[in-house]
Structures are given as C-alpha cells and as structure tokens.
Structure 1
C-alpha cells in the first residue's frame, strides 16, 4: 500500500534533513501546507457530491416528495407478473351498468317480437316471459327559474301622496340568487376546485346564468362566512361542531402541508408561512389553515386537552402529546430507511437492516389484518422484531460524528438518534385496537387540498383560507358518510337565510 506524504516525511532521518538546503525545506513546508488544504477541499467536495447525488435521487419512494415530482426515469416497484391475461378472470363477477328504478322513468316503451324465430308463427304479447332492459338517459335543457318582484309606487287619487310598496327584507335580504345557485358556486369552488372564471363560464354554459366575478365571490363568502346568530351560520356552524367532535375522538390521524396565505386583507403583514392542518376520523375530516406549524397550532386542531391516540409523522409540533399515545407513521419510516439504504458504506448497511425488520413487521400486520393472527399472537411475534430494531438504532446512534457534520453518515446517525427518542411511539398499533401503523388516511385526505393549492397558489386573505378550510371539511366529511354534498349546501344556505337551524355534519 502506498505511504501517505506525512509517513514519507517521517521516514526521513534527522541527518538527511540536515543536508537539505533551507530553501528546499521552506518549499517542502509550503507544498505540504497546500496539499493539506487541497485534501480538505477534496473531502468537502466529496461530501457535497454525495449530498447532491442524494438530492437528485430523491423520489416519492425515499422521501416526502409527491409522485408528481418524480423524474421520468423513476420506475416504481411493480408486482411480479402472474402469467394471467389482462382484464377480468374466469369466474369473476362482472359489473354491469346500473339501471334506474322503473318508477323514475318518464317513459317506458315495450318492444315485442313480431313472429317466432323458429317456426315463423305470430307470437302473443300476453305470454311474454322476460324482457331485456335498456335505458337511455338524457338531460333536458336547463332553464333558470326567474322570479321578478315589483315594488310599485302609486299616487293617491284623493290627496296626491306617493305610496311605495314595502320593501320586504325576507325577499331582498336573500340577494339576487337562490340557495341552489349559491350551492352550485360553492360546490364548483370546493369539490371540483374551479377558478372564478371557470365557474363563471360553467354557470352560463350549463344553467344560462350570467354573473360577475364579484357575485361569485359574494356567493362563496355566503356559503362559508359566519352569520349573525347560530341559526345564520350555514356551513361554518356545522364545521365548528365537527371540530369539537374531532377533539373528543379516541383515535385521530393528523397531518399538515404548506398553504400560502397572502396579505390581501392586511392580516398577514409579516408574510408568515401558512399551514393546512387535517384531522381524520372514520366519519369526520376537519381542515384548518393556521399561520404556524408550532405545537400551539396542533393544539388548536386537536384541543389542548386531547387525551386520545394520534397517528402522525415525526413533526415536532406533536411532541406535546404523551409519547405513549402516539403512533409514528411507518410509511414515512420506510421512506427514511430506503433513503438511508441508498447511501454508501455503513449507512447502506443500517438502512438495509432496518428495511428487513420493516418487511417482517408488515408481514405480521397483514396476517393480523386478515385474521390469521390474534392480537396476543401479534404482540408476541413483534417482540423479537422490536428488540432487533432497537439494537440497530442503538448501534447506529453510538457512531461518533461531529455535531455540525453534514455528511450522509452524519444524517443517518442523527435520524437514528431521533428515532430512539420516539421508539415507544413506533409500536402503539401493535397493542391498541383501531390504531393503524400508517397515516395513510390523513395523507389521502390532504391530497385534494394539495391539488387545490397547486392550482390556486394558496389564498389571498384570511377569509379565503377559511373558505378552503370549511368547504374541504364539508366535502371530505360528506364523502365519508356518502351524503349528497349539493343537497347539504342547499339546506345550509336556505336555513341560514330563513333563520332556521342548518344541517349538521355529525353522523
């Protein structure tokens, strides 16, 4: 093996050094100094190169990057080919087009054969045994129902006094558009994430209703905004009740994503970064836009006295929750392990070892979910995996690194040290009924909001953020409960306008 420069210098005897001219000694010192500097720069460049390679290799499989940002060369894991032909297999129950009940058909036309296909005899309608049903569905031209109110002024023929018909607040106060029109604007803005101009075109093309962009904004505000009394709160009152419901649930999945709120109304002069928070239960999903990602924001979503279990990522905002009541998402952990395994040297070995344990763990979970294991059998089978996992993390955390080091190995060590602090929160799903090992429910719930953010670039004001939060809550919760969103919005707006109690989101 070749000797290093310091080793070669150390091998020179004092007698030999004494024979070297002073000018040569100075030259050697300068060259050694420069070589040390070059070696330091090379080491820094190697570290930087490894970090840049890791960034370039980032995908949805090894980071929180969405699939839409994957490179064209990324190939997700595919299932092994089974050898079967594509499409429905033999014995598969087919899915046919759904037929509407006969009672809702405006017209039923019966068709009968004129003669027997075998002997040619005429056949009688009275001996029909069965009929093949085929329905043609059509939408008639939509015409808006327009009601004109005229408040006349009449001059008294006796004294000449001008008499004006009383302006009725119950009519004028409802504005120029009915509850269903406002509900459609709210539906197109939320469920279908259409822009103001797109809604303007849809309302004219489909319903024959022309309206300005300002009118669309006013109708959106009416759908979302808080009224003067509890009976005039439309969807905002229902959303407030849903938030209270979430805070009383035993198990909640939570997640957050960036959501920019600009300063159009002067309420975000410091240009603070906004975050869209989501809390998920089996029947209610709540969204809130908050200008913070701190623990106080998470407490606003869950309630400061929340005592249930949560499933989340490793965001520090949830550290105020008792660690024994937390479940860290294993889908996030798997991405971290893949990223570690794609590094070189010791990091790769650590990552591969963690992935092996993760795979064993989920094999057991799938068996439990398919009722092949009982809860007690699952707990017992997971114990050696938990012990091995803890051993791997402990060994990795004990590796010596500089506190400010930015090498891939240093990142690996810091990740393992962080996981050691949360190790208790990795296994809640094993012992608690109803707790899932992943936060996929919250990830799926927040996906429409991410798409909304990418098309709208956030909101211009606090009112815009409230509209996003409330309508996402309404749409997501009603979809879970399989309730009609348009009907709910119509009922809510009609109730708010008439001073009645609006419908509830609660199941």
Structure 2
C-alpha cells in the first residue's frame, strides 16, 4: 500500500508537505552527485517504489531551481558589499557551447555562476563597477578592473618553478631566488595563521623580503628573456602585497579553488549542462551546498525548508549568515 501511494507522487506533490523529503532527496543527490542519476532512479523505483522517469527528475530540478532563486539572488546582491572576496573560474559546457563555472567566495558564503563567457562582463555582473573591496585571484586580466587585487602566490610559485625548468641559467637563477624569498614569506605567514605572530609584526618582518623580491623583478625586467614576466609583476607589484597591508586577506586563492573542486568533479562526471535552465539549477545547488558547508549548516535540511517555503508561497530561508 505504501508503494502504491508513492507511485502516485507527482513532481509537485513530491515537494510538498509530508512528501517534501522525497523530492528534496532526489534534487539534493542529483545536485551533489549528478553522475548517479541512473542509480538514483533505480533506488527510487526498486526500493521506494517511486516511479522516476527522466522527465520527472528534470521537473524536480526545475522546481529546485525555482525554490533556490530568491536565496541565490540575495547572496549575489551581497557580493559587492564584501570587504574581501576570492574569485576563480573553471571550464565546462552548456550544450555544445564552451562555458565556465565561476565562483566568488566571501567569508561566510559563496556564489557560483555558469556562463558562456570568460570575460570581465561576468565579474561586472556580480561585483558591479563600484566594488571597493579586495579580490583575491590569479593574474587573468578579466579581474584587473575590479577592486584592489591580491594575486595568488600559489600560482606565482608555479611560475617561479617554470623559470627554474627553463634551459636558460639566468632564468633558473631568478626562479630559485624568487622561490627562496617566497618560502621565507610563507614561514612568516604560517606564524600569522597559528597566532604566534601579529599581523603588524608580520608586516615589519616582510620589509626585507618585499624589497628583495622587487629588486629581483626589477633586475629581470631588463633581461630580454625575462622582460615580459618580470615587467608585469614589477608594474603591478602592489598586487603582490595586499595581504601584507590589509589584515584579513590571504596570500593565495585557495578558498576559491577549494570551493570550485566539487564543480570540477561534477563537470568531469557529467560533461556540463544541456541548457541554460540546467545551468541555473547547477549554480544554485552549488551555491547552497557550499554556503551551508561554510556556515556548518545541514544543506539537506536547509533545502527542504526552502522547497517547502516555495510551495507554501512563503519567503525562503536566507543563506546570509547574519540573517
């Protein structure tokens, strides 16, 4: 009798009242582990007795995207007011088109966006033209017009290793010299992280390291084989040291790269989305799941509340930590 009743659950009824958990479970697993959709359908049909066609599950995805729209938009609108953000992007697909999964990570929430562009217009869409905070990022130029930048030292370390790997002895020496200063910098930074060195004292102890790095870049700027790399870093050297001058800024972009990992795994498993509608589902699910992780909240419980509120035509629970 239980199974007969479950077979009559429509996509709308699967999200409402006592059946909210079934619909939310489907959407939660499908958003978290999309490659398991076939296995999930078998589980629903053979264990729970719930008929689960592909179209039924797509309808559930669409309803999930609708339920998450308002909380997602609230987070997106909060981004320009944040003092510190980290941003990154990773390639994916939308149908046959190239696309990118973007993320902007704040202290207590993250926002994901799937767009068919890797240009500054996407950053402008989310940060606006009046963002005055600090943006941690790599050296990709679409970020350059937004806020005060902190270039990622993890990326720079890889660039220094590339110099070491060159056959040119001058490049190898420069790479080793820059790596040596970077290691000294991270030794000091680790003490800031564990609380044994104040940020003010860190800034003072960074003065000789900072001077030496800039001297190395200035020297390399006049070498024909190193001019391009060193000239850019020298010209924009302030972007190397924002974390020294502004407390609360990290020297790496690890926060954004860490947030993107589930999206990268998702893309490798299911090869992107098939439509703009699918992209909206994915970006909102990633946003909700990662934000709940940052806030140590139960993402499935929050999603159930959001879906119930949607069908009751009530305001969805906020994902802002202060709300």
Q: TM-score, normalised by structure 2?
A: 0.91
Quick one: distance in 1 between partners of 2:92 and 2:141?
Answer: 19
Task: Give the secondary-structure state (helix, strand or coil) at the position aligned to 2:131.
Answer: coil
Higher relative contact order, structure no. (Cα contacts within 8 Å, ≥ 6 residues apart):
2
What RMSD, in angstroms, separates the aligned Cα atoms of the two structures? Answer: 2.1
Q: Distance in 2 between matches of 1:256 and 1:172?
A: 37
As a proportion of its length, which structure holds more helix?
A: 2
**Partner in structure 1 of residue 68 of structure 2:** 235
**Superposed counterparts of 1:408-487, under 5 Å:** 410=225, 412-487=226-301
Distance 1:148 1:337 in 2: 60
CA, structure 1 residues 450+308, in 2 after alignment: closer, same or farther (shift >3 Å)? same
Q: How many matched pairs?
A: 316
1:399 to 223, 234, 245: 223
Could you say if the C-alpha distance between residues 342 and 173 of structure 1 is closer, same or farther in structure 2, counting changes exceeding 3 Å? closer
Give the Cα–Cα distance (whole angstroms) in 1 for the partners of residues 85 and 306 of structure 2.
27
Instruction: Give the secondary-structure state (helix, strand or coil) at the position aligned to 2:179.
Output: helix
1:503, distance to aligned residue in structure 2 (A) = 1.3
Partner of 1:186: 27
1:286 aligns with 2:286: no
Task: Tell me: CA distance 1:367–1:493, structure 2 relative to 1, closer, same or farther (3 Å).
Answer: closer
Deviation at 1:466, TM superposition (A): 0.9
TM-score of the aligned structures, taking structure 1 as reference length: 0.59
Structure whose CA Rg is larger: 1
1:221 matched to 2:62: yes
Contact 2:192 2:202 in 1 (8 A): yes
Which residues of structure 1 form unaligned runs of 5+? Answer: 1-142, 150-170, 226-233, 264-270, 401-409
User: Paired residue for 2:5?
Assistant: 146
After TM superposition, give the deviation of residue 413 of structure 1 in Å: 3.4
Relative to its length, the structure with more strand (as a share) is: 2
Q: 1:274 aligns with which of 93, 96, 99?
A: 99
CA apart distance, 1:206: 4.1
Distance 1:175 1:371, change over 3 A: closer
Q: Is residue 28–residue 300 contact of structure 2 (8 Å, CA) maintained in 1?
A: yes
* SS state at 2:94 partner: coil
| Deviation of 1:375 (Å) | 2.5
Matched with 1:307 is 132
1:173 to partner: Cα distance: 9.3
The 3 A distance-change label for structure 1 pair 205 and 306 is: farther
User: What does 1:289-368 correspond to in 2, within 5 Å?
Assistant: 289-322=114-147, 325-344=148-167, 345-368=169-192
**Unaligned regions of 5+ residues in structure 2, if any?**
none
Seen in structure 2, the aligned counterparts of structure 1 residues 473 and 144 have a Cα distance that, compared at 3 Å, is farther
- CA deviations on 1:128-170 (whole Å, 9 max, x unpaired) are xxxxxxxxxxxxxxx6693799xxxxxxxxxxxxxxxxxxxxx
Distance in structure 1 (CA, Å) of the matches to 2:28 and 2:6: 23
Indicate conservation of the 8 Å contact 1:182/1:220, yes or no. Answer: no
Q: Which runs of 4+ in 1 moved over 6 A?
A: none
> CA deviation digits over 1:184-223, x for unaligned, max 9?
1111111233343222123234433221111011111110
- Distance in 2 separating the partners of 1:504 and 1:393: 47
User: Could you tell me whether the CA contact under 8 Å between 1:277 and 1:301 is conserved in 2?
Assistant: no
